[in-house]
Structure 1
Amino acid sequence: MFSIFANIYLLFMSATTASPQHHQLTPLILWTMTLATGFIVANIYYNQPLLGDIATTFRISNGEAGQIAMFTQIGYATGLLLIIPLADMFKRKRLMLIDLAFVVVALLLAASAQKVWILAVSSLLVGITSVVPQVLVAMAAHLAKPEERGRKIGFIMSGLLIGILVSRTISGFVGEQLGWRAMFYIAAGLMLIMWVLIALVVPEVEPDYKGSYGSLMKSLISIIKEEPKLRLAAFRGALCFACFSAFWTTLVFLLREPPFNEGSAVAGAFGLIGAFGALAASLIGRLSDKANPNQLITYTLVLLLLSFIIFMVFSHSLIGLIIGVILMDMGVQATHISNQAIIFSLNPNARNRINTVYMVSYFVGGSAGTFLASKIWGTYHWAGVCVIGITLSAIVLIVHLIGRAKKGRA
């Protein structure tokens, strides 16, 4: 399989080596990057509506099945830490094409897993290798004009966020009709298509960093120390995504209980509902070019807190859950866009490493949210999940307001 990828890759590269080093972010390139971002990031979330079916297949508890989603998120954080910094060191298109070949292998391994530990390992590998979207987001920031950076990032992020949410709808439907394994086989096919699209359309970007991999990784520590805005954005992102992951990991368990008594298809359909909130990403990107992102974040964090209060009060109402999902996704995704508008303006020569610090924090938070929710579900069920969301969203709002106050006094 890898020899096939290598031969096709050499064919495409031989046709594009004469291209200029400075590229514009044309509509075709932007749309290709957006589509690839959405389809690739979906790999991380396909398993969430399928956890109940996976538990049945392997005869494990819902809490144990929830750990599969946690392994995927831990893998993603690991890939962000170890792979994304390489985009400052190696040619980015080449790095993405090599990575996507491994994504296909990991998805096929997940689809064919006959033991739960094999599924856990393959889920970890799916997470590690599905990091190409973060290279594409940083590439968009590199190729876009400064006055359009927020809008271009917002456009790509709207594709990423819709991919995150619609992936649950697709996997829920496929799981209901064809079984959970079919979803991973389909995902592997989609990755082959994305490989071809990136090879044909996305330009090559030369690296900015000339040192060794060891010094590259050490520079992450220096970046963290030198950039207080990055530290605060990473904290906000981590806690917001912890709330987000706690909700989506356990929603399928809530919907399987009375009074809902629904399966994976309905759980997945909530992702489609949440996509309406994700559509706000493009608007937030435009606003971040003109308004103060920190002020926008204050409002979006309030939406997140409000959503979990609604989940707590209206836990037995589909209408209540729908309203809460829209508010939660608007809050989380808009905060994420504003965070990225802030961090990508810090150091142009280290955008991939800055994004690494932020996104590793983001998915460590997501993994923690998944772990906490899976553990608490067994004892406190939905009420415990809502307490997690309310507590974490209140903490991040308070820390954000304190940070704004200190900045105002500085």
Structure 2
Amino acid sequence: MTETLERVPITEHAPRLGRGLLLLMSVATGLSVAGNYFAQPLLEVIGRDLGLSTTMATLIVTAAQGGYALGLILLVPLGDLVERRRLAVTLFAGTSAFLLVSALAPSGPVLLASTALTALTSVAAQVVVPYAATLAAPGERGKVVGTVMAGLLLGALLARTASGAFSELGGWRTVYWLNAILMAVVGVLLWRFLPRLHTRVGLSYPALLRSTLAMFRHEPPLRWRAGIGALSFAAFSALWTAMTFLLSGPPYGWREAAIGTFGLVGIVGPITAPIAGRLADRGWVQRVSGVGTATLALAWPVISAGAASLGWLIAGVVLFYVAHLVVLNANQNVIYALRPENRNRLNSAFMTTCFLGGAAGSLLTSVAWTGAGWTGVSLLGGTLSTAAFALWALERVRATKN
């Protein structure tokens, strides 16, 4: 059956988004995604405490990835069907509850299940981002999206460092307890301060999911931007997947704590996201996209030189990370402008594609590292990034002809 995408009005539209609410939404997205990254630097201590094999402990990360992917597909589109404040708060409550289960987990299977369920409901972050875009004034949408995404990215970035620190203070369960409490508090604040917002689409849930896939057919800009996003995320995944192997081997020989701290060099990225949003608000979104994708490709020769130089490695990673976030922000500004009443389905389609690109990047990285080490990973990342720039250029050529 062919799905039609009728434009329907957004009801119960809230007043202009204030700074306090914007800050709350930014913090909320960061806390929501953080729980998906706590286990990564703690796999050894968790495995030792629960008596898990290395393979079983590694599955904790896989469970988080799988749960998040399912949430993107199955839950994020609900923002176009049910009242959004209720959906967001319900997902926050679920995440808080599942984090508590992780904190109390007596065995590996229980922790695996709770991790997957935590990731499933943590897509509340991907409900809040288009929520903020809808509440924003049209001329400030880019800045607002950039600010909320900065909170999300900081949460993902700082989660690994926080989990390591709290693990040393009170054991690996401590960070789960703390985040569960914070998620509950933020959920209450969102219920208190978020305005009600409802898009009446008149679809059943199965029809809603079908219409999410139909977005690709009806919206060419979504196809282009999803392709660019998938390639960018694949290159991003290649960089961070291989980073541990590089830093743990010669000439670096770093231990796990130092490797986890290295991720903090990317903190400049979320800081620049609102700046890219402001440029998009001025009508420069295509220029921002072009510069961003070109910079992705140009960063890889610098990253490659980092095999023997920490200075070059830091410079290349910062350059790439900033460019990646600039491209992500530009992509989101393009797709959120397509159909305001369908933003959650657009976001679901876009982010699922990006996630699949990241998964493919991880898979290709294992082959590249085995075959040619850091040089092979750099060639892979450079190829993926160049392809993202080529896709942007091809989109511009097609748009000019039309």
Q: What is the TM-score when the length of structure 1 is the normalising length?
A: 0.86
Shift in CA distance, 210/68, structure 1 to aligned 2, threshold 3 Å: same
Corresponding residue number in structure 2 for 1:334: 326
Of 358, 363, 381, which residue of structure 2 is paired with 1:366? 358
Shift in CA distance, 338/197, structure 1 to aligned 2, threshold 3 Å: same
- 1:29 positional shift: 1.3
- 1:284-331 CA deviation, whole Å, 9 max, x = no partner? 000001133222112112222233322222223322221122112101
- 1:115 positional shift: 5.2
**Whole-angstrom distance in 2 between the partners of 1:393 and 1:47:** 29
**Whole-angstrom distance in 2 between the partners of 1:329 and 1:79:** 25
Q: Does 1:105 align with 2:97?
A: yes
- 1:280 positional shift: 0.9
Name the aligned partner's letter for residue 97 of structure 1. V
- 1:84-143 CA deviation, whole Å, 9 max, x = no partner? 111111111111122122212332344455655554443332221111111111111111
- 1:17-70 CA deviation, whole Å, 9 max, x = no partner? xxx763331222111111111221222233333456556663426xx8655434
> Which runs of 5 or more residues in structure 2 are unaligned?
1-11
Corresponding residue number in structure 2 for 1:261: 253
Of 175, 183, 186, which residue of structure 2 is paired with 1:194? 186
- 1:4-403 matched pairs, under 5 angstroms: 22-51=14-43, 53=45, 58-60=52-54, 68-113=60-105, 116-175=108-167, 178-374=170-366, 377=369, 380-403=372-395
Aligned residues: 389
**Whole-angstrom distance in 2 between the partners of 1:114 and 1:244:** 35
SS at match of 1:279: helix
**Whole-angstrom distance in 2 between the partners of 1:384 and 1:113:** 40
**Whole-angstrom distance in 2 between the partners of 1:357 and 1:364:** 11
Aligned partners of 1:73 and 1:364 also within 8 Å: no
Shift in CA distance, 108/247, structure 1 to aligned 2, threshold 3 Å: farther
- 1:188 positional shift: 2.0
- 1:392 positional shift: 1.5
SS at match of 1:44: coil
**Whole-angstrom distance in 2 between the partners of 1:168 and 1:334:** 23
**Whole-angstrom distance in 2 between the partners of 1:254 and 1:101:** 39
Aligned partners of 2:38 and 2:175 also within 8 Å: yes
**Whole-angstrom distance in 2 between the partners of 1:87 and 1:98:** 12
Shift in CA distance, 108/38, structure 1 to aligned 2, threshold 3 Å: same
Mean CA deviation greater in 30-39 or 382-391 = 382-391
**Whole-angstrom distance in 1 between the partners of 2:171 and 2:370:** 26
Aligned partners of 2:166 and 2:175 also within 8 Å: yes
Q: What is the TM-score when the length of structure 2 is the normalising length?
A: 0.88
